[in-house]
Amino acid sequence: MTTLLRAEGVTLGYGRTPVVHDVTLDITEGGVGLIGESGSGKTTLARAFLGLLTPMSGDIWYGDQNLKEADMRRFRRDVQPVFQGEALDPRMRVGASIAEALPRAARDRVPGLLQQVGLDPELAGRRPHQLSGGQRQRVVIARALAAGPRLLVLDEPTSALDVTVQAKILDLLARLGTGRLLITHDLAVVGRLCRTSYVLFAGRVVESGPTAELLDAPAHPYTRALRDAVPRLGGEPPRVGARPEPSAAGEPGGCPFRSRCPLAVAECGRTPALREVEGRRVACHRAEEVLRGR
Ligand SMILES: Nc1ncnc2c1ncn2[C@@H]1O[C@H](COP(=O)(O)OP(=O)(O)OP(=O)(O)O)[C@@H](O)[C@H]1O
């Protein structure tokens, strides 16, 4: 599988406080999901993949170019954000918003882009408040597609929409040939759009592998708790306990999930390394037991 973007041992933070720790992650074709509850560091990692946040340590690679030295003009065209509730300029007609993202000579592509995202080209003359939430999100996607990107970085692209509209937008995203990094707390969404997934807890990858296998038989107790907390597509965000204290997350000693883990034993005071277990990578001393459903 071709890797579009790669994080290698990346630590990210604000000021001097790290919030994402030593993450290695490949964005491959077929879609990659980044799953975790609020505050786990998903958006921080997405910002780094968009070149908006420089790692405190580690590197981000775009092909064979280190992002620190890459041609950022080209990169910003190739890697496009689609963020939750992204504001379209309320004063601008949506056709003009899309045209802005196109090269001057290609502005006649607006109707085609609107059609590509399932909208009537007639809507180009409307302003954002004259559209439904689902239509607005389609315009945001059309604008991202205008640049001809190789990769879309989608941060909760459907969570503000009702369930039926959500399903239609997910179908649209699945049909687009573009690569995607999808950030969500909703496992049902990654199940539809991402061949590979990474589960983030307290800024660390605790499990990664083929999405179908992670959903079917999680090897980390946190992945299992997330899966079991999601009743259906469009359900409420899972609540699997309080967020860990930042101090606990940043401490080198011990599994950050241990205070919430039903399987925690004395050994969990020693930080588990990511290791291969049955086709996935997991940071849990008891992964084999979790896989066997204990
Ligand atoms: N601009 C900022 N300055 C300081 N700390 C920040 C900033 N943005 C995020 N953080 C902190 O970084 C941590 C990770 O936040 P992040 O937004 O990446 O999480 P998330 O998983 O995307 O959460 P959500 O699903 O709620 O968006 C949190 O503890 C948050 O408080």
Residue 166's pLDDT is 83
- The stretch 138-157 carries a mean pLDDT of 91
Judge if the beta carbon of residue 46 lies within 6 A of ligand 1: no
Residue 209's pLDDT is 96
For the beta carbon of residue 233, count every other beta carbon within 10 angstroms: 16
Number of structural domains the chain divides into: 1
Task: Give residue 246's pLDDT band: very low, low, confident or very high (50, 70, 90).
Answer: very low
Choosing from 19, 156, 158, 187 the residue with most ligand 1 atoms within 8 A of its CB, the one to mutate for a pocket test is: 19
Q: Which domain holds residue 152?
A: 3-243
User: Who has greater pLDDT, 90 or 159?
Assistant: 90
Note the pTM of the prediction, 2 decimals.
0.89
Q: Between β-strands 57-62 and 3-14, what pairing exists: parallel, antiparallel or unpaired? A: antiparallel
- Selection from 171, 210, 207 nearest residue 189 by Cα: 171
For the beta carbon of residue 30, count every other beta carbon within 10 angstroms: 15
Decide if 189 is inside a domain.
yes
Decide if 276 is inside a domain.
no
Decide if 73 is inside a domain.
yes
Decide if 85 is inside a domain.
yes
Question: Residue 169 is part of a domain; what is its CATH number?
Answer: 3.40.50.300
Cα 193 to ligand 1 centroid, rounded to whole Å: 24
Closest ligand 1 atom to the C-alpha of 41?
18
DSSP 209: E
Decide if 114 is inside a domain.
yes
Distance in angstroms (rounded) separating the CA atoms of residues 2 and 150:
12
Closest ligand 1 atom to the C-alpha of 203?
14
- The overall average pLDDT reported for the chain is 88
- One-letter amino acid of 204: R
What would the two tokens of residue 66 be?
């280190």
Judge if the beta carbon of residue 36 lies within 6 A of ligand 1: yes
Decide if 160 is inside a domain.
yes
Decide if 255 is inside a domain.
no
Query: pLDDT by residue (tens digit) across 35-88?
Result: 998 899 999 999 999 999 999 999 999 999 999 998 899 999 999 999 865 678
If you take atom 31 of ligand 1, which residue's CA is the nearest one?
39
Decide if 271 is inside a domain.
no
Cα 252 to chain centroid distance, Å, stands at 26
Cβ-contact 157, 42 below 8 angstroms:
no
For the beta carbon of residue 164, count every other beta carbon within 10 angstroms: 9
Closest ligand 1 atom to the C-alpha of 243?
29
What would the two tokens of residue 69 be?
């030295």
Closest ligand 1 atom to the C-alpha of 246?
29
For the chain, how big is the Rg over CA atoms in Å? 20
